[in-house]
Amino acid sequence: MTDNYTQFANRGLGKKVTKKLGLPQPAILRRYQPGQALITGPILVQGSTAGADALAASLLSWDLDVRRHAVPREKLGAIVLVLDELDRPEDLEGPVLAAASSLRDLSPSARVITLSRPAANSADPSQAAARQGVDGFLRSLAQELRSGATGNGILLADGVTATSPSALAAVRFFLSGRSAYVDGQFLTVTSPDGTLPADIGQPLAGKVAVVTGAARGIGAAIARTLHRDGATLVLVDIPAAGDHLAAVANEVHGTALQLDISREDAGQRIIDHAVQRHGHLDIVVHNAGITRDKLLANMDHARWSSVINVNIAAQLRINEALLASEHFRTSPRIVSVASTSGIAGNRGQTNYAASKGGVMGMVRASAPLLAENGGTINAVAPGFIETDMTARIPVALREAGRRLNSLRQGGQPTDVAEAIAFLASDAAGGINGVVLRVCGQNVVGA
């Protein structure tokens, strides 16, 4: 679906008119294309800790243009603030104000990234206050950035350093166009696990991935992105979507499985299909979901139960089969699609929000079970994404949904797919039990 306003606001006359009238001016975002540079312009790494020095050295080893001190009026592609040793709230002032002097030098679609520690991991009130201060600082800064620039944070759990594999992978993800619609978010690296890919362009080479709800929209975008990154695909959707499913499967050279995932035996059928056709199974993406919106006062059993059954109960049953299978034991990856509705709620969606909140609870509780085999389970929570579903929203509500975030526009299905592809990779092997919002920093919700 085309956002005509964003196109208008980026043309000569439209740009002048929207600026003069004080209207939103959404930028054309820098989205990933194979072969493009990771970032355009120098990267300023700020911080006086050993972690800052080590991270700067790692970025230099990627043949990136790295600065340790700002050069006045030099256009920057990114600012990386390493705040991994904060002990007092006063410690924030130096690095934060140093970064402030370079903000006007950021290029369009630039990146600001912080690396810090989770406040919840500290029993020291002063240290916890300083760490939590990074949260408020980064989220506020992200709302101040313009021209498609984004601000995101990486939280390093105990035992994780700024150069642990998944920390470096998270830095790469946030620097790249893959994270174009991720803004104002924190991603926790939970362990020093993870393996950086030998082939950056094909990080999923040799992997067999299942995507449910793959016939259209976000599911089809996930299939295309995983295929681009080297995965072999098994695409699942209901029989009624068979023609669309077959078309997507042919496009990505995968196999199609027509299946209602709410069936009791759905998990075993998915495993059997993957193993019989491709020999093994490495990644499962739970994308399938439905809505049956109604105010709770008008909600009935059919609407409530169907949404809960498809959106969360089916995932739980499939995961139970996966965890019991000998074919899903080698660094398995599960990524579920949640929703910002499950975080902030949404009028008329009590059933849907309950199901998506359930997905996030399931992910957190299942993380230790996957870790036993070196695996991970995470979730992506999309905000307003331009799909056939959002195209049916009345115009006024649709425009409001698009503009109520820091980037002043809706996301694309590919934005959700990029986050899922990252979390499904071995590079993200140290990220487990987390929820990453892909919402352009929607102003609703945490």
* The two structure tokens encoding residue 334: 């599960």
Report CA-CA distances (Å) from 283 to 22, 61, 204.
46, 30, 10
**Torsion-angle region of 305 (φ positive above 0: left; ψ -120 to 50: alpha; else: beta):** alpha
Write down the catalytic residue from 5, 32, 181, 352: 352
Residues 189, 149: Cα–Cα separation, whole Å = 23
Question: Closest Cα to residue 232, out of 288, 269, 283?
Answer: 283
C-alpha triplet 135, 368, 169: angle, nearest 5°: 50
At 366, phi and psi to the nearest 5? -85, -15
Residues 153, 441: Cα–Cα separation, whole Å = 13
Number of neighbours of residue 43 by Cβ within 10 angstroms? 25
State yes or no: is 32 an active-site residue: no
Residues 288, 310: Cα–Cα separation, whole Å = 7
Single-letter amino acid, residue 226: L
Distance between alpha carbon 34 and the CA centroid of its chain, in Å?
A: 19
Indicate the SS3 state at residue 193: coil
Side by side, which strands form the sheet with 283-286? 255-258, 232-237, 208-212, 283-286, 333-337, 376-382, 435-438
User: Bridge partners of 437?
Assistant: 381
CB 257 within 8 Å of CB 281: no
Report CA-CA distances (Å) from 251 to 227, 254, 278.
9, 8, 17
For residue 311, give the DSSP letter.
I
Catalytic residues: 352
